[in-house]
Chain A
Amino acid sequence: MSTPVSKLPATRPEQELEYKKVQKYRSLIELSTWLVPALLLFLGIIAGLHIVAAGEEALGTSDLVPWGLLIAAYVLLAVTCSGLCMISSLGHILHIRKMEIVLQRAILLAIIILIAGFATLATELGHPLRLIYVLFSPNFTSGIWWMGTIYGIYLVALVVELYMQQTGKHNLARIMYIITLILAVAATSNLGSVFGLINARPFWNGPYWSIYILITAIMSGLAVVTVLAWLMQRKERGYRGDAFRSSLKTTSKGLAILLVLTGVLTFWKITTSLYGGIPAKELATLALLKGPLAVPFWLFEIGLGIVVPLVLIIAGRSERLNYNLLAALSSLVGIVFMRYNMVIAGQLVPAGNLDVQQAFEGFANYLPSSSEILVVIGAISFIILAYRIGEYFLKLD
């Protein structure tokens, strides 16, 4: 039985003061959650403009390592977008009740993340408008052409899907779930094939990355949705809060399964690349194991990306919300490095290496420039800001 308002003890002046202080503190935090990403986005835009203006000079890339952090960031964002979409579509198609409350939000996030991905790619190209040539002058044997085109169509399809959901056209939305699921699988595996089709880079060549990227796409999607559900359950009370908490536990379970799968895939990739000592494959793998990528690989990709989240989810039996949040955040940090390692490791061993007398030993150099890093931080800040604005204006339940 609730206590009648008149019988509640009157708040003492000190208590009221305390309350006001807390409120002030809260609104300061709230304000900073807008201001900090806005500032970082601004810095990211400046860095992006610097790259467009200064070109190669502003990048850490070279002729030996032509693809750097910005390409890795594009892969990261495009793949996370696909993962979110796959989760949303599968959730709707398979009627996973426990996840319902996050599914529309996943689509909004997918759209925003893909826009951020395209912006990153356009920055790397130097001339953002150059992307248009891909449409007007197609080469159908190019992996990048297929990847870019499918992702372009996919972005439009995602917007249509969100529009259908927003306007209550549920039957049409249901068709879109299937269409976007197919597009997500096609786009993501195609992105893997951009690397897999290159014969000159044995570490990349083959179907492995198409499969790996598909599986890790779902993993990154689940990690993002877990973080999102955690944030939402803090704000919401009653039924809605419970719904977020329940979906958070479900996505964490899924995350744990995918972490194990990714661990197994990584183990066999490393083992098969070392086995037999095929030079370029072996060297690229050694770059990860004990070369220039050892810290990003062991500490971030494996440690923070796989081991820590798995331990956290298992320790909390996927029931402890804060453990699940930490696990998702940790795996997201790992995923950033996972994409970086994949893109860079394939290039650290020069393809040509034609001089027998002075064969290139060791590894090519690549370190991201500060502008590249700022663009990536700006892209992530854009995602946070745009999502918050979307959450404010759209009906996402």
Chain B
Amino acid sequence: MSKRYGFVMLVYRCIDCKACQVACWAENEVPLGKTRNWITRDGYRGTFPHLSVDYLPGNCMHCDNAPCVSVCPTGASSKREDGIVAVNYKKCIGCKYCMVACPYDARYFHPEKEVADKCTMCKHRLAEGKEPACVTTCVGGARVFGDLNDPHSRVSKLLRKHRHKVLLPEQGTKPSIYYIMERPQEGGNLE
């Protein structure tokens, strides 16, 4: 079976430090003012005064049913065998249809290359056997990366063990990023 790369976000571990954003900027030379990944916040948990908030790390969802791939007139955006939604800069005509069609606003327009750009799951690092820069750098270990088709991978084990969700499921995009909202006992661990 071919690989299907994806992320599992252990939400309780994210402290909103944005190190993943910084690592991505540096690794991928993301132009100033643009970003390939982000941290958003979920609603409050608990009752006053014991309130807390969850931080949700995100980036392109590498959707299995990606609208950006369907709408791209030249096939510059495509879903690879290994699950990565990639952009072929040579074929991209800069029509921005993918940007309009992405329900997660995951893309930005690269001002120098003049193409619609986004997270590549650091495919250049994967080719060298490394994990994406945001995963390697994640301070709290909230970003877990791996092959969703491999039953022994950490991501698969986490998904088997814990309830999880995807963002905007009503869009039917079948994202490859899963969020585990569960929290362990004080001082404990989910694995």
Q: On chain B, which size bracket covers the interface?
A: 35 or more
Question: A18: CB under 8 A from chain B?
Answer: no
A43 to B40, CA, bound (A): 45
**Partner of B93 from A55, A133, A350 at Cβ < 8 Å:** A133
Q: What are 10 A-B interface contacts by the 8 Å CB criterion? A: A63-B34, A134-B73, A138-B74, A143-B97, A144-B71, A197-B71, A198-B67, A198-B71, A200-B101, A352-B102
Question: B136: CB under 8 A from chain A?
Answer: no
Segment of B104-112, B141-149, B151-159 engaged in the interface with chain A: B104-112
Interchain CB contact under 8 A, B43 and A356: yes
A63-B108, A67-B96 as given contacts; A141 in contact with B41, CB under 8 Å:
no
Distance to closest chain B CB from A194 (angstroms): 8
A147 to B174, CA, bound (A): 27
Interchain CB contact under 8 A, B105 and A63: yes
**Partner of A127 from B71, B91, B94, B107 at Cβ < 8 Å:** B94
Question: A363: CB under 8 A from chain B?
Answer: no
Question: B182: CB under 8 A from chain A?
Answer: no
Question: B26: CB under 8 A from chain A?
Answer: no
Distance to closest chain A CB from B35 (angstroms): 10
**Partner of B72 from A139, A201, A357 at Cβ < 8 Å:** A139
Interchain CB contact under 8 A, B171 and A199: yes
A42 to B109, CA, bound (A): 29
Residue of B nearest to A145 (CB): B73
Question: B11: CB under 8 A from chain A?
Answer: no
Interchain CB contact under 8 A, B104 and A352: yes
Q: Which residues of A contact B97 (CB under 8 A)?
A: 142-144, 194
Residue of B nearest to A142 (CB): B73
Chain B residues close to A by CB (< 8 Å): 34, 38, 40-44, 53, 56, 58, 67, 70-76, 91, 93-97, 99-109, 111-112, 114, 167-168, 171-172
Distance to closest chain A CB from B154 (angstroms): 25
A130-B94, A138-B75, A199-B171 as given contacts; A357 in contact with B43, CB under 8 Å:
yes
Residue of A nearest to B31 (CB): A56
Distance to closest chain A CB from B166 (angstroms): 12
Interchain CB contact under 8 A, A201 and B172: no
A67 to B99, CA, bound (A): 9
Which of A55, A139, A194 gathers the greatest number of chain B CB atoms within 10 Å? A139
Residue of A nearest to B70 (CB): A141
Question: A156: CB under 8 A from chain B?
Answer: no
Residue of B nearest to A357 (CB): B41
Q: Which residues of A contact B109 (CB under 8 A)?
A: 56, 63, 66
For the complex of A and B, 9 pairs with smallest distance between CB atoms: A352-B105, A66-B96, A357-B41, A200-B103, A130-B93, A355-B40, A145-B73, A144-B73, A139-B75
Question: A126: CB under 8 A from chain B?
Answer: yes
Question: A358: CB under 8 A from chain B?
Answer: yes
Question: A354: CB under 8 A from chain B?
Answer: yes
Interchain CB contact under 8 A, B99 and A66: yes
Having A66-B109, A352-B105, one finds 4 other A-B pairs with CB under 8 Å, namely A63-B105, A142-B70, A142-B73, A143-B71
Q: Which residues of B contact A131 (CB under 8 A)?
A: 93
A353 to B91, CA, bound (A): 29
Q: Mark A84-99, 1 if CB is under 8 A from B, else 0.
A: 0000000000000000
Interchain CB contact under 8 A, B40 and A356: yes
Interchain CB contact under 8 A, B72 and A142: yes
Distance to closest chain A CB from B144 (angstroms): 20
Q: Which residues of B contact A358 (CB under 8 A)?
A: 41
